[in-house]
Amino acid sequence: MNLPTSLRFLRNGLFALSVAFAATVATAAPSPIFDAHLHYSHDAWEQLPPKAAIAILRKAGLVAAMVSSSSDDGTQKLYKEAPDLVIPVLRPYRTRGELSTWVNDPSIITHLEARLKANKYAALGEYHVYGADADLPVMRRVVELARDNKLYLHSHSDADAIERQFKQDPQARILWAHSGFDAPEKVREMLRKYKNLWCDLAFRSDHAQSGKVEPGWRAAFLEFPDRFMVGSDTFTPERWHFVVEHANWSRQWLADLPKDVAERIAYKNGVTLFSGMVKR
Amino acid sequence: MIAASAFAQSIEFSPEERARILSHGPWPAVHELDSSNRVDGNPIAIELGRKLFSDHRLSASSKRSCASCHDPKRAFQDGLRSTRHQRNTPTLLDVGQQRWFGWDGATDSLWAASLAPLAAKSELAATPAHIAALLRRDRTLNVAYTALFGEATADAANETILVNIAKTLAAFQATLVSPRTPFDEFRDALAQNDSAAIAKYPSAAQRGLKTFVGEGKCFFCHSGPAFTNGEFADVGRPFFTKSGADPGRWGGLQQLFTSPYNRLGQYADGGAQSAVATKHVIQEPRNFGEFKVPSLRGLLGTAPYFHDGSARRIEDVVQHYSTVDESRLHADGEKIVRALRLTPAQARDLTAFLKSLSGASSRKSK
């Protein structure tokens, strides 16, 4: 994704989304959601063909969805079906079973380089790496590939692994999956330290329960309203049938925040960062 | 370390393992009366519930009863892979030990759990008026009901009569307790350091037990005398249905929160004290696709297994946990469940232990 093209897409994308949002409000449709964390792996497309999957995303009221898959074929199938909705993210895993072995497998790099030549992506990820493993050669090369191709990194990691990636490339742009399942105080500390760090809230619920935002997280959202996004995390194919429910669940707790903060977390942050890949 | 067997292969349990083994008893466990059901434990209610349990007149068609699916001759289940909602019919043995009911925990009391199939169109399809009319015209039922709840006058609300009938059904089901098992004899012998009695428990079952309370970490969810923590988990089983996916606990909680028959509602006896868990339970995204951790007692009589009855034999269940597809489990979600990678001998031993959790009658027929 070269930068000028990206910026042009971004501008056009924001305009299109503004129009779409105005239409949304006019028809009293559910408030928009940008889903930053979806997977569409081989067993998902076997059970849920692309048309059916896209129908679910539209029913959920998503303005865009970041999708990665094991293998990448799933992402491409979905992107082809709905380029106006799907933001492709390149996952290192050729099968989902590589989750715990990939970081020691140099052939992953060949796979990533071939895919990067063939397709457009907004990010590399979601990958799992923890602690000192982030300094292994395969992971270092992933950080380089992100830098060279101007891509975000979608990293499922502890804070230590995030810091190691920033050490390798201080200009890296990282979306911290599940915000590391860390406490809000730690997340705030990391956000203060790294201006190029953003957070998704997928598959966690300690930030909000029964429609109420937890005080520690409220403080984080109010301090960094531009740095959070929601995500449903379809880590098994069955969870595609949860995307609509998750969007509604998110709307419920977002309504407990000031409207402008809620809108940023719900979709504006995602649109601002990633809509360059959306073809309107 | 304590030598637990006089067999050729002596099995030793660490103090931690011994404590865990002892925590699975004594059996039978004490049934704490359900304060949301004022007739729980009442002999008249138990007898009325026992009669109604097999009474086909409860159904709109007069062809079905609770016993149609919860067959007393089949450990109060039906032996079918899956029926309503594409779920396996759970046994009612030891149901009085539970906190949440059904694979999804959609109800928080045994009487509310009994009410659901009474009213469900796909099951007994009984309206409150149908149940109330049966009660008013059957003298025997009416006498027992009046003794428990007062007269079911023409003015009495049909809905209240329906709930009261469900409470008698619950009182009966709370008395359904699985028998003592070879494991219970071993556990009690271990508690008393009775070497002779300890030695009667087969060494294969002892080795399987060691896996269960040790490396397998099975005890973590299958805890306590009933071998269940009473909560919900994703153990890596598929949960697609013909129309999508079974939401499991997520959907159960939605039903629980909106039900007029939960412990916070007007039909529950006992007030707020009995509703603490219901008041504080929360719904989380991880609940989607989670199902009840079932009791392991009486396994030999309760096949098939898992929420959808997709495992025919106990051996199939052990194989699942031995080779569970970890990529189906969230990296930061269900940390307890991991592929045990059992050798064939270890799998046989774990199976032997699980089979020892059944009473003599089940064991004879297998």
The residue ranges of every structural domain in chain A are 30-270
Q: Which two tokens stand for residue A252?
A: 């419920």
pLDDT at A138 over 50: yes
| Statement to judge: residues B115 and B165 lie in one domain | yes
Give the span between the Cα atoms of A134 and A138, in whole angstroms.
Answer: 9
Residues 50-89 of A with CB under 8 A from B: none
pLDDT at B8 over 70: no
Is the complex ipTM higher than 0.90?
no
Closest residue in B to A127 (Cα–Cα): B331
Report the percent of chain B where pLDDT is more than 90: 84
| Statement to judge: residues B132 and B269 lie in one domain | yes
pLDDT at position A80: 96
Are the beta carbons of A239 and B245 separated by less than 8 Å? Answer: yes
| Statement to judge: residues B57 and B196 lie in one domain | no
State the pLDDT confidence band at B330, using cuts at 50, 70 and 90: confident
| Statement to judge: residues B259 and B219 lie in one domain | no
| Statement to judge: residues B109 and B218 lie in one domain | no
Of A96, A100, A203, the CB nearest to B333: A203
Are the beta carbons of B328 and A236 separated by less than 8 Å? Answer: yes
Please identify, among B231, B263, B290, the residue that sits at the C-terminal boundary of a domain: B290
The neighbouring-strand residues paired with A176 are: A155, A199
Give the span between the Cα atoms of B102 and A192, in whole angstroms.
Answer: 47
Closest residue in B to A180 (Cα–Cα): B332
Are the beta carbons of B331 and A47 separated by less than 8 Å? Answer: no
pLDDT at position B2: 47
Are the beta carbons of A233 and B333 separated by less than 8 Å? Answer: no
The answer to whether residue B235 sits within a structural domain is no
> What is the mean predicted confidence (pLDDT) over A168-183?
97
| Statement to judge: residues B88 and B209 lie in one domain | no
| Statement to judge: residues B187 and B95 lie in one domain | no
| Statement to judge: residues B207 and B353 lie in one domain | yes
Closest residue in A to B334 (Cα–Cα): A203
Report the percent of chain B where pLDDT is more than 70: 94
> What is the mean predicted confidence (pLDDT) over B252-272?
94
Give the span between the Cα atoms of B180 and B193, in whole angstroms.
Answer: 19
> What is the mean predicted confidence (pLDDT) over B13-41?
96
Which of A37, A236, A239, A249 should be substituted to probe chain B, the one whose Cβ sees the most B Cβ atoms within 10 Å? Answer: A236
Instruction: State the CATH number of the domain containing residue B18.
Output: 1.10.760.10
Please give the residue range of the domain that contains residue B64.
Answer: 29-177+249-290
| Statement to judge: residues B112 and B218 lie in one domain | no
pLDDT mean across residues, chain B: 92
| Statement to judge: residues B214 and B155 lie in one domain | no
**Which chain B residues contact residue A239 at CB under 8 A?**
245, 288-289
The answer to whether residue B240 sits within a structural domain is no
How far away is chain A from the Cα of B258, in angstroms, using its nearest Cα?
Answer: 13
Please identify, among B234, B266, B290, the residue that sits at the C-terminal boundary of a domain: B290
Closest residue in A to B330 (Cα–Cα): A235
* Helix intervals (H) in B92-154: 110-119, 128-137, 139-149
Closest residue in B to A156 (Cα–Cα): B331
Are the beta carbons of B247 and A97 separated by less than 8 Å? Answer: no
| Statement to judge: residues B82 and B192 lie in one domain | no
Instruction: Give the count of alpha carbons within 13 A of A169, CB side only.
Output: 21
**Which chain B residues contact residue A96 at CB under 8 A?**
327
| Statement to judge: residues B217 and B167 lie in one domain | no
CATH 2.60.40.10 fits A30-270, yes or no: no
CA nearest to B253, candidates A235, A245, A181: A245
pLDDT at position A100: 84
The answer to whether residue B229 sits within a structural domain is no
DSSP E strands: which ranges in B204-267?
232-233, 240-241, 244-245
pLDDT at position B329: 85
